[in-house]
Amino acid sequence: MKATQKLHDIGQSIWLDNLTRGLLASGKLREYIDEFSVTGLTSNPTIFDHAIRNGHDYDGAICQKLQQGKAGEELFFELAIEDLREAADLFRPIHIRTNCEDGWVSLEVSPLLARNADGTLAAAKALHARAGRPNLFIKIPGTSAGLRAIEEAIFAGVPINVTLLFSVAQYLAAAEAYLRGIERRIAAGLNPNVRSVASLFVSRWDVAVKDKVPERLRNKLGIAVACEVYEKYRALVDSARWQRILSAGAHSQRLLWASTGAKDPNTSQLLYVQALAKPFTVNTMPELTLKALAAHDEFGDALHGDADAMLSEFAKVDIDTDRLASKLLGEGVESFRKSWRDLLTCIASKAKRLKAA
């Protein structure tokens, strides 16, 4: 039995952190579903950028949309929604079989809206309606403006993937936004079964401190923070407040591990997969990590160490995790914005070349 199947069997969902037209057309995504226990996926602008810049899978569609007068963000969203609809349809049987718990795909709003709550909410509603698939999450970052939009989007019935979370405080704020949205639906007599995941970014912690900590602490901060968040997550799900919304017909917002490909070439590609093999969570894996996991029969045991003790070791070497979490969120927003602008530049450049041809 592949390690991917074993991970699935303990109660963790494996989602692919990748989506391109080539992945769909080649049948590779279907193969990952059938052979590697993949039950969902996420997409991001950088992946689309590379596929458009370095290949020809999108050339025909871009030409067609240019003839229709489409350009920029409008053109990109049409390409992305076409891909996500096809992927969502592949995952639809899983979505139905798991009673909407799994089988999701994700599309993010423009990162340029990260500080604009009203704009984010309007975009989330429009994109979800435009895609027309029940198993599509809209990704919204956990900024202060994003959190306001998340509550309103959940209240409006839009499934949300809360992205760019790094710390316990940020996770709890995202969970609070979700809870408020669901509680408002219950109070208004609306169906509270609106799904959500909260995406905690893991490896970026270790990249941020790699030159600031002794060897014995390298590649351990992301796991320590994730374990601390997992403890809070399970405690929150068990709380009276959460049990009340479950009794009313809602479902828990699941915790999702993002950025789980190991960035240190000197460590195992499965570092974060092994450490975070926790039930009732999701792990979004880059393709390289997924293949590495599938090549194994075992993935090892999840870590059960004392997260507080480990975090105290980082405090002793002057790593302020609260301040660093805020910094990582800010950097994440700027990184997403840069990737978005790069993508739009790439599309404009490709469109110019195709017109000339």
Listed residue (304, 123, 314, 311) closest to 209, CA to CA: 314
Mean pLDDT (the chain) is 95
pLDDT of 222 over the 60 cut: yes
CB 256 within 8 A of CB 201: no
Buried b (16+ CB within 10 A) or exposed e, 260-272: bbbeeeeeebbbb
Q: pLDDT at position 307, please?
A: 87
CATH code for residues 3-356: 3.20.20.70
CB 256 within 8 A of CB 281: yes
CB 4 within 8 A of CB 36: yes
> Between 168-187 and 240-247, two packed helices, what is the crossing angle to 10 degrees?
40
Gap between the Cα atoms of 104 and 34, Å rounded:
16
CB atoms within 10 A of CB 297: 9
Gap between the Cα atoms of 304 and 306, Å rounded:
7
> Between 321-356 and 72-97, two packed helices, what is the crossing angle to 10 degrees?
120
Whole-structure pTM value: 0.96
pLDDT of 304 over the 80 cut: no
CB 182 within 8 A of CB 244: no
Gap between the Cα atoms of 242 and 48, Å rounded:
37
* Choice between 75 and 299, residue whose per-residue pLDDT is larger: 75
Strands 136-141 and 12-17: unpaired
Q: pLDDT at position 1, please?
A: 77
Chain segment 172-183, per-residue pLDDT in tens: 999 999 999 999
pLDDT of 28 over the 90 cut: yes
21: which 2 tokens?
Answer: 């037209």
Listed residue (158, 311, 182, 332) closest to 250, CA to CA: 182
Segments in the chain forming alpha helices (H): 3-9, 21-25, 28-36, 45-54, 59-67, 72-97, 117-131, 144-155, 168-187, 203-209, 221-237, 240-247, 271-275, 287-294, 307-316, 321-356
Options 139, 220, 278, 350, the catalytic residue: 139
Chain segment 84-130, per-residue pLDDT in tens: 999 999 999 999 999 999 999 999 999 999 999 999 999 999 999 99
Q: Once rounded to an integer, what is the mean pLDDT over residues 243-255?
A: 97
CB 282 within 8 A of CB 258: no
Gap between the Cα atoms of 78 and 130, Å rounded:
9
Range in 46-50, 87-91, 325-329 the model is least confident about: 46-50
Gap between the Cα atoms of 136 and 196, Å rounded:
10
> What CA–CA distances, in Å, run from 330 to 109, 150, 198, 324?
17, 18, 18, 10
CB atoms within 10 A of CB 131: 20
DSSP codes joined into one string, 24-46: HHTTHHHHHHHHH-EEEEE--HH
Q: Once rounded to an integer, what is the mean pLDDT over residues 2-29?
A: 95
Provide, rounded to the nearest whole percent, the portion of the chain with pLDDT above 70. 98
**Confidence bin at 357 (pLDDT 50/70/90):** confident
CB atoms within 10 A of CB 214: 8
pLDDT of 247 over the 60 cut: yes
CB 299 within 8 A of CB 277: yes
Cα three-residue angle 282-287-136, rounded to 5 degrees: 50
22: which 2 tokens?
Answer: 């080539």
Reply yes or no on whether 263 is catalytic.
no
Q: Look at residue 16 and give its three-state secondary structure.
A: strand
CB 102 within 8 A of CB 133: no
